[in-house]
Amino acid sequence: MKLLYPLPIQNDFLFTPSARDFTVEEIPLYEFSGEGEHLVLKIRKKELTTWDMVGIIANHLGIKHSEIGYAGLKDKYAMTIQYISILAKHEEKLDTLQADGIKILEKIRHNNKIRIGHLKGNRFEMRLKKVLGVQKDKLDSTLDWIRDNGLPNYFGNQRFGTDGNNWEDGKKIINKEIRINDKKLREFLVGSYQSYLFNNWLSKRIEISLLLQKFSESECESVLGLEAGVLAGTKSQKQFLKLLSGDIMMHYPHGRIFNAEDLASEAARFGERDISPTGLIAGSKTTKATGNAGVIESLFDEPVPLDGARRYAWIWATDISKKYISEKAQYELGFTLPKGCYATNLLDVLRG
């Protein structure tokens, strides 16, 4: 699947995900209360998935995996810091835990169990290698563009497996061409197909926005085989990703969804980072775009036996930091993204 990005610049650098060169730190949704029957652990792990870590701790405490709360899944090939919760009654036994790759940094009481999604976002720190002087200037320029304009919120390669084709099995499951008895695996594969559909929809919207930089609305409609008027009101918008009538918008970085009706007004709010358009995670129980946006969305909407959702199409990296070490040809990069967003998106835009 070819993913389209707004910058034609080609940057060559080496990035190898590892605990040495890649750090991810979870940003909690709220401050923990300091009292209650739950114990929140701030944990640093490396060379383990979140599931690996949960399994090690659950086995040590003699509890079910489901009794441990966590907000999100973190990379295996990174040094990651995240928060999990257990019942405080297990604290004494926890003190005897010794496991390679796991270190408890802090403990604090809290009233509730941590649930999936209970985080603001993640802070990423990464070291890019083999960055020569001219490449450093290109990275600086591309980061300036990202800081000003944001970036597409694709699902990362992690969703599609080592060979990038998990979505094919997901589609086969939906079409009843294969049968997977393991529920978690089945839902994971079908979820990969949902992600594939979303990424292709987003690529189409970016393709439209790129064409509108060079051609008129009617010319783009002709090139793309769209009905006349579908792109009405798009070319005059200042932001890169153009809105269409009927787009489902969402307050940013979290909030309620609503239909885009006055394109000029909503485009101005989008440019101010107050709202962002959303794309469809195909499935049941979800709101779908209408109008011209619905025409494009329908091309990537298929019946999927899972709940659907809306996902931000466009996001912004914040707190971007950078440092170039010329003698090592290394570029140290830091940035923060909202929850559910992949660091690889920013890297892919940097590569061009």
Instruction: List, in sequence order, the alpha helices (H) in 164-306.
Output: 166-174, 183-212, 217-224, 263-271, 291-297
Cα 237 to Cα 341: distance, rounded to the nearest angstrom: 25
Helix (H) or strand (E) holding 309: strand 309-312
11, 38 Cβ separation under 8 angstroms: no
Structure token digits, residue 47: 């060379």
Burial class (CB in 10 A: 0-12, 13-18, 19+), 201: buried
The answer to whether the beta carbons of residues 39 and 97 sit under 8 Å apart is no
User: Annotated active-site positions, please?
Assistant: 75
- Distance CA(6)–CA(239), nearest Å, equals 12
Q: Are 17 and 158 in contact (CB under 8 A)?
A: no
Token representation of residue 250: 């969402």
